Amino acid sequence: MKLLVITLNTIAEARAIGLGAEQVSRYYNPGTVAKEVRLLNVHSENEFHWPGFGHLLLNVPADAAMSAWLASAARLAGMDTVASGALLEGLPPVPPSWLQAIREFGPDLVRGYGAGWCGLLAAEVGRALGVPSVASCHDLRGIAPETMQRASCVVAVSEAVAAKCIAAGARPSEVVTISDRVDRALFSPDGPKPAIAPAGVPKLLCVARDSAEKNLDRLLEACKRLFERHPELVLIHAGKSARDWSRWPFARHVDAIANAELPMWYRWADWTLLPSLCEGFGIVLAESLSCGTPCITANSAPMNTLVREGHNGLTCDALSVDALAATLERAIAEPGLRAKLSANARSATEFFDIARVEQREAALYRWLVARERPKISVVLPTYKRAHLIEKAIDVVLAQGYPNFELIVVNDGSPDATKDTLARVQRERADSRLIIVNAEHGGLPRALNAGFARASGELWTWTSDDNAHLPGALSALARELALDAQAVMVFSDYLWVDEKGNRGKQVVTGPVEELVSRNVIGLCFLYRREVAEEVGPYNPEVELAEDYDYWVRIARVGKLIHLNRTLYEVGDFADSLTRTRGDEVGAVAAKVIAAQTHDPRWRDALREHMTVLAGELKTRGLPWRSLKTAVQLIARFPLSKAGYWAFARALTPMALLRFTRKLRGSRSSA
């Protein structure tokens, strides 16, 4: 593979801030996936010799119009919001002389490191050469809609950034999250501390440039309040700054700390502070945690996804000096808190390990340039849905994925389904469409009949009242390609009513809660090998056959959540959710009760049955609620939950509504 890279900053700038040649070289060629990497010399850099770097510049002739456009477009990088069209305003085409030089190199992939002009230039070059392009997004600001819409793929460093990219126009199915990387061998709790460092208690460290979004004014004011009560407090700030630091007697300022020396300072600190108002990722937090030092940061994404309140750090309202000061006071005063959080710090950074991130990024590159895709088998069971099945088939066939088969299983429908399927197959004349007519046996048996005909490497199934959104199959398959250890991936979905109006978005997961409920949802893809290992769907747990299957898969392999909305679920009057929703909970209880391999199953079952009894009562099914309460008492006689559920089942709904209203009035008083 040949890779063309377009960078926002020059190599000289990377060297100036202390980054190593091998570090930067690996950054531009993760996992050495490319046999040759060239950096498009849009900055007119002079040729350089940097031992260990390993990549060359691709020189292009000077073009005044393009240079002027690049200079003007660079101003958008710091904007919170980039208006649609702002980046394209006055944009000249890529100079033919540039394209000629690039063609001579012959890249298979173009990567632009930026969500503004770098990404857009990569997209335009990719289009001109007919090769895929990747635009990176590292910040919540400066995201240009044109870049998001034109790049083949958008890489976001966090889910918070991914959401911003999608809001700016990126296709959800083409946004991939690849975090910033941490060299956990370098950033480790084991190692020396600075030979010369100020003494103090507590020792606080803040590594951030002095800009408005880093929120240093409020941080310093909060530290000033603490300094009055804790005169030994010392704060070291590292980062470019023009302020007068002599105003803050507790603070020591340095313009920069070399990357190789940063771990020593993280180890020195009791706490690392980063109360930013805006971060794309928060690499300082990841590095600090990797060194075993807990952090204090803002309670907003993505910071609060790295630093989990009370687990490996503390979070607060960073816009409030009072909140910052109170959190710092707690960090200092609460006995054993720092030791507890420090014990959990390093394990939180395993996902950001440099080798792991490079592996994921290299896998993405291979996916984008691959000429073939793994075959997907989609099974579509249907029963008495002649009025829906044709549209359901067309939705799947419209997926842009290049290698799949659709196996429609008619579960012995007594209506016109069989004739409709025959007509659709004749009219579509699509070799991807396979029709199976089976005797009526219920959903699990229909699924088993469909997968018995499957020839794909990856399997999924859908329903005749639901729909994959464009690009869904590709996004799911790609995610499995990026994680060789995963056997199944699942994503989020939307409710849609019979008129096509979109309703509630459902965020699925986390996998850790699978013991107590079906967190997988309705949009998923799994490997054929794991299906062959766990066996067919179980007809004995019909209505919860999917939940039972996911539990079985989770016992033998890794399940991953793709935080994208890729599916629509029909909220129709004749859907199973509407017509038999009250029965699903009872069958799900059987699935939970069977999970005796998980020590949490008893608590999960008790909670599930308690909630189910309440839901049945609310749905106007008092006798089923009472039956569930009796079962709850029989299984957990020492728990109060069953007796409360029993009393609730016997209480008239009018009285329940009155007491609920009364409680609401008291709580609001």
Q: Side-chain half-sphere of 348: how many Cα atoms within 13 Å?
A: 28
Rounded CA-CA distance 111/131 in Å is 11
Long-range contacts of 602-610 (CB under 8 A, 24+ apart): 602/636, 603/516, 604/515, 604/516, 604/517, 605/635, 606/632, 606/635, 606/636, 606/639, 606/641, 607/516, 607/641, 608/516, 608/517, 609/635, 609/641, 609/642, 609/645, 610/641, 610/642, 610/644, 610/645
The alpha carbon of 93 is separated from its chain's Cα centroid by a whole number of angstroms, namely: 35
Would you kindly state where each structural domain of the chain is located, as residue ranges? 2-177, 203-352, 372-574, 599-668
The DSSP symbol for 61 reads: -
CB-CB neighbours of 494 under 10 Å = 17
Question: What is the rounded CA–CA span in Å between residue 453 and residue 435?
Answer: 10
pLDDT value at position 663? 53
Per-residue pLDDT at 346: 95
Q: Tell which residue, 511, 515, 554, has the closest CA to residue 534.
A: 554
CATH number, domain 2-177? 3.40.50
Q: State the fold for domain 372-574.
A: Spore Coat Polysaccharide Biosynthesis Protein SpsA; Chain A (3.90.550)
Mean pLDDT by 10 residues, the chain (669 residues): 92 79 91 95 84 90 82 70 72 88 97 92 95 95 91 96 95 96 95 90 94 94 94 95 93 90 96 94 96 97 95 96 96 94 95 95 98 97 95 96 97 96 97 97 97 98 95 97 97 88 89 94 97 97 95 96 94 62 83 91 89 83 85 87 84 69 49
Q: Token match 């699935």: residue?
A: 591
Cross-strand partners of 466: 569
So what's the pLDDT on residue 667? 42
Q: What is the DSSP string of 324-349?
A: HHHHHHHHHHSTTHHHHHHHHHGGGG
Question: Parallel, antiparallel, or unpaired for β 234-238 and 203-207?
Answer: parallel
- Tokens 């080798």 belong to 355
- The CATH superfamily of 203-352 is Glycogen Phosphorylase B; (3.40.50.2000)
Decide whether 2-177 matches 203-352 in CATH topology: yes
pLDDT reported for residue 131: 98
Distance of CA 439 to the CA centre of its chain: 41
Structure-token pair, residue 654: 């009018």
- pLDDT the model gives residue 668: 42
CB atoms within 10 A of CB 551: 21
Single-letter residue type at 220: L
Q: What 8-state DSSP symbol labels residue 194?
A: -
pLDDT number for residue 77: 63
Q: State how beta strands 486-497 and 524-527 pair.
A: antiparallel
Q: What residue type is assigned to position 469 of the chain?
A: L
Helix (H) or strand (E) holding 137: strand 133-137
Q: What is the pTM of this model?
A: 0.90
CA–CA gap between residue 577 and residue 463 (Å, rounded): 12
